[in-house]
Chain A
Amino acid sequence: MQLLGLYNYWVFVVLLMIGFYAVIAKSNLIKKLIGLSIFQAAVFLLYISMDKVEGGTAPIIQAGVPDQIYSNPLPQVLILTAIVVGISTMALGLAIVVRIKEAYGTIEEHEAAAMDSEA
């Protein structure tokens, strides 16, 4: 279990970095939004890797089994909320990208900025 613990957090760090790199370095607006969703997915992994208890199962209480160990329900509730926040921000970001495409004709940030600087 010890190896998995460390590996879980390393994957969280790597995914965080991949997402953050995509948000900063990529100039395509949709690629930035994809990077943002990877960035948020990594945070979900951090929360959910907290809730695992050795030998525990999902926190659904079976009446029959008296001393069953359950995993921690609280991070799961937080992440349920965070996933839906992520999808809402994504939907709004995509709507803005569609409007930018109609207004500027491009969804590359540097081309749109170039158009603005002339105006």
Chain B
Amino acid sequence: MTILLAVFLLTMLVITAVAIVRTRDLFAAVMLLGIFSLLMAANFFVLDAADVALTEAAVGAGISTVLFLGALALTAARERESGDSRWLPLVVVVIMAATVVYATFDKPALGDPNAPVHQHVAPWYLSETPRLIDIPNVVTAVLGSYRGYDTLGEVFVVFTAGIAVLFLLGSGRPGELFSRPPDELSTGGLKHHLIPRVVGKLLIPFIILFGLYVQFHGEYGPGGGFQAGAIIAAGVILYALLEGETRALAALPESALKVMVIGGALLYTLVGVVCMLMGGNFLDYSVLSTNSVAGQQLGIILIEAGVGLAVTGVLLSIFHAFAARATA
């Protein structure tokens, strides 16, 4: 039965993608990209990837649409015809399609249990996690502990994106992060949209609460630092859109954002360094407390908090950098 749903979702994906590429109006393309991400999240859920579906929905549909709209507000909203030939790209694309289709001949069928993917490393994770780390969500265990170094690199990719956007769009004045001082920012918000402001004010606390739930529920169900950071950032961005950036910056000022960005990245790295100082290898949480399983759980909770802090701080800084940029 789920085959029908999966085929439907996949076809919708292709239709949306074609619509995105063909449409000339960039606002429509960005909205379709949001729909594309939501369809992709639904698809991931059908394929048993709950964590990834939550991330794709929160980050792919939520934050990236806001960033694209922020950029579109500062640049042109319609695409102009470039007029150069369409044939060369089409030929290149068709050749590449042929090579990739060629790759799918001997691949294992979908879902077949004795595919090589399920033989080697994955069963060890599924069988050893209850004994070594004893948390239900194996994805968080692999993300936080077995491949914690990858996630550390991941936090620093987000950190690099944050400082790069601040470097490009930030203010030239020392000490100030964003290009327009807080008092000049838009104070109006959607003044004459009374209903969205009332409903928004009603919902924002629950969005932030849900974000915190996702953050600390990461070990037991789908969730974790990235998703929580994206959800909390989406909540504060909604507040900024409804009440105006000055109120949002009053709620989470530049200094708070700096502390979150630096704090998150440093917390993660320092947890690793503490593990080294206590005798284990870098990021080996079992040395954090006498009982190695308790140490692992403590380590994972700490690094997830670091990831959540860093992602929230960076996403909000990027949003404020775009929003505060004077519309040329």
Q: Do chains A and B touch in the complex (CB under 8 A)?
A: yes
Distance between Cα atoms of A98 and B74 in the complex (Å): 7
Please give, as numbers and ranges, the residues of chain A lying within 8 Å of B250 by CB-CB distance. none
> Count the A-B residue pairs with Cβ separation under 8 angstroms: how many?
291
Known contacts A21-B89, A31-B29, A85-B154, A101 near B110 by CB under 8 Å? no
Distance between Cα atoms of A73 and B222 in the complex (Å): 12
Number of interface residues of A (CB under 8 A): 88
Please give, as numbers and ranges, the residues of chain A lying within 8 Å of B122 by CB-CB distance. 72-74
Distance between Cα atoms of A48 and B70 in the complex (Å): 30
Known contacts A1-B109, A51-B47, A88 near B161 by CB under 8 Å? yes
> Taking the nearest CB of chain B, how far is it from the CB of A54, in angstroms?
4
A11 and B59 contact, CB distance less than 8 A:
no
B60 and A73 contact, CB distance less than 8 A:
no
The residue on B at minimum CB distance from A2 is B109
B50 and A60 contact, CB distance less than 8 A:
yes
A45 and B43 contact, CB distance less than 8 A:
yes
B241 interfacial contact with A, CB 8 Å: no
Beyond A18-B17, A61-B129, list 9 extra A-B contacts (CB 8 Å): A5-B109, A22-B21, A37-B64, A48-B49, A50-B117, A51-B117, A60-B138, A92-B168, A94-B68
Dominant secondary structure of chain A at its interface with chain B = helix
Name the interface residues of B54-91: CB closer than 8 Å to any CB of A: 55-56, 59-60, 63-64, 67-68, 70-72, 74-76, 79-80, 82, 84, 86, 89-90
Known contacts A13-B104, A58-B50, A81 near B150 by CB under 8 Å? yes
The residue on B at minimum CB distance from A57 is B48
Name the interface residues of A82-119: CB closer than 8 Å to any CB of B: 83-85, 87-92, 94-99, 101-102, 106-111
Distance between Cα atoms of A51 and B112 in the complex (Å): 10
B79 and A11 contact, CB distance less than 8 A:
no
Instruction: Give the contacting residue for A80; candidates B55, B117, B328; CB below 8 A.
Output: B55
Please give, as numbers and ranges, the residues of chain B lying within 8 Å of A79 by CB-CB distance. 49, 52
Please give, as numbers and ranges, the residues of chain B lying within 8 Å of A71 by CB-CB distance. 47-49
B226 and A28 contact, CB distance less than 8 A:
no
B202 interfacial contact with A, CB 8 Å: no
| Interchain residue pairs with CB less than 8 A apart (30) | A2-B110, A3-B3, A13-B104, A25-B89, A30-B71, A31-B21, A33-B68, A34-B21, A37-B64, A38-B33, A48-B47, A48-B49, A49-B47, A51-B49, A56-B48, A58-B222, A59-B48, A59-B126, A61-B138, A73-B138, A73-B142, A74-B122, A87-B63, A90-B64, A94-B68, A94-B322, A95-B71, A99-B169, A107-B76, A109-B82
Distance between Cα atoms of A70 and B115 in the complex (Å): 14
Segment with Cβ contacts to A, from B95-103, B264-272, B277-285: B95-103
Instruction: Give the contacting residue for A44; candidates B52, B84, B138; CB below 8 A.
Output: B52
Distance between Cα atoms of A72 and B119 in the complex (Å): 10
> Taking the nearest CB of chain B, how far is it from the CB of A41, in angstroms?
6
A17 and B93 contact, CB distance less than 8 A:
yes
The residue on B at minimum CB distance from A63 is B136
Distance between Cα atoms of A101 and B77 in the complex (Å): 12
Please give, as numbers and ranges, the residues of chain B lying within 8 Å of A97 by CB-CB distance. 71, 75
B40 and A44 contact, CB distance less than 8 A:
yes
Distance between Cα atoms of A6 and B12 in the complex (Å): 17
Please give, as numbers and ranges, the residues of chain B lying within 8 Å of A4 by CB-CB distance. 3, 6-7, 110-111
Instruction: Give the contacting residue for B60; candidates A17, A41, A72, A81; CB below 8 A.
Output: A41
